[in-house]
Structure 1
Amino acid sequence: MVAREKVLVDPFIGTSPAIRGVAQEAEKLLSTDNPVLIQGETGAGKGVLAAWLHFHGPRRAGSFVDMNCASLSRELLESDLFGHEKGAFTGAVAAKKGLFEVANGGTVFLDEIGDMDLQVQPKLLKVLEEKRFRRLGSACERSVDVRLIAATHRDLGLLIRENKFRIDLYFRINAFLLKLPPLRERVEDIPILARHMLEEIAADLGRKDLSLSPAVEKALQSYRWPGNIRELRQTLERAVLFCDGDTLTTRDLHFGYLYSDALISGDQILTLSELERRYIEKALWIERGRVEEAARKLGLSRSALYEKIKKHAIDLHRIPKEKTRKGGILKGGPEFRTAPSYAPG
């Protein structure tokens, strides 16, 4: 559960008809206080869009509080949503406000609502319909005034047919629906997004005047981006660390999915030697430069891996162990950025 301060991140960067259409629909919702359901794949920007709706809407002066419904057990989810009294359960050593109390007067953003436990759903429905709830362990009803924005990457219609999601809750949260397109459906936006992100990344790392080569832009547009905008940013962050000059080249790119369009660099299929180099580097990134652990994962002896490192001229000093910087911890591997300024949901 996180109460966010105002963020000024544009979820509509790009010129494609797909993203401009979403922007037009979202702008029409700024005057309403009704629930909004955002559908989109993982990493497509659902959380950024939810924050934009709040900070440009009628409740902008209130709190924006979010929670991922897929990350908690039923008991913890219920406690975090509605709060609890002291002694309500083992470990409840003090009373605690829930998400709805914290967000009173503002907006509650429930990410991955399709994964919400079926037993918690009717309690959420009661809050939305009656604007009242009870803390765990309390008989006292409390009033609350919040706006709900929910998001999911799942097919809620299918979940309803499988009796995993309540149809009455679905109609309550689905007053307005916004569908975020995956990055592969807005290919023309990728260079624009990449240049925008590269400017931010370079500033964070103290690098100036970084640019993308035409071959890199083409390679980025050739990849299908199963992780969408989040994966694009992480790929660029890794590329900046690998880049020695002022222009990112295809040699600096390390896509997260080996057996995919990542094998294509511009119009050229990568050689087996280049694939081996990239795979070894990926293993070293995951293991934060620990050669012995990387060798074990690759099924090699330590000496054999060192020979391949020498063969491919892999610089172990460029494999981040662990660095700290303003805004979070920078760790090696595909998931190293913990608090990007553009953190799509």
Structure 2
Amino acid sequence: MTSKIIFASKKLGTIHHNQLQAMLDRFNLGTLISSRKTELGAMGQTMFVSSTKGDFILKGNPLYHGQLEEEKFFIENIVKRTDTPVPIPYLIDNSSDIFGWSYALMPHLPGEHIDSKLLKNTLTKENKLQIAESIASTLAIFHKWKVADFGELHTETMKITPFKPTYTDWIFQRIMFWLEDAKKYSTITDEDIEWSRSLLAEAEEAFHSLDSPTFIMGDFKPGNFLVNSGESGWRISGVFDFTNSYFADPVSDLIKMVTYYLNHNETGIAKHMLNKYFEGWSGRNFIKSRLKVHMLHQRVLDWGNGKATKTATWDNSLSFSEWAATYTELIASLVD
């Protein structure tokens, strides 16, 4: 389920004090002090819970069968393979007697989101460059986890189900499917379709050359990691929410942060992050081709969502291809 596009949200709903205390009692985690919903929580699934034994995150009402088990699998493997701070132990209660649904309880990691009220206007350019370097190194470490097949985790067998017929076919077909779907909510012209197909065609060789699938987080964005300042400067202090993780092209994990920086007029920060990540890599043309395709993928999803929900903030006079091309060309130009 990790690679599926999930638009529905199963929020926690109203949670009562006695329910939270019953949860804490189940794991012998002290007496409830306070609780509140998270501002940037995963689809309304999370809540801060503070007790006499520590601070925790409740994640409940799973979006699909196996969501919590899947996330636990990825977290426990990351702990074994890296030093990246992740929420461990990841405790799961599959019974529904307390809340009416299963849930997970995990430690609340230290730090702040880079776009939080506390940091948004206080980070200096040097701070941001340090964070960009930490993002690059964190993702590079994640991507050392290599597997035999491009695919997603099967939540019952906990084995990788390969993409059919190939990863290249899967990602290309996915892009065109969602571009066609966007016609329900916006104007997608024949020129938009042809432009997208030509970009994919140009990248075929780059994708067919991929032979080493890696773990990818799938949703590396400001809401899913924390930072803090230490002796060596600003660094990532925690990463969480592995619901969208699977095994594919590692380059795809860079896209959401590049998009974030570009949308905040921080092109230099995006460039610094990319070039730190790609230090020592060869085949720059193939890298750029893959980046452009993954950026197209993200632009298709964002366009469709923005038009369907009427939350699009870009110039409505632009066609899809005009709007998306500004991102695909820019990201390629950022890699030295």
TM more than 0.5: no
**Over alpha carbons, which structure has the higher Rg?**
1
What TM-score do the two structures reach when normalised by structure 2? 0.29
What TM-score do the two structures reach when normalised by structure 1? 0.29
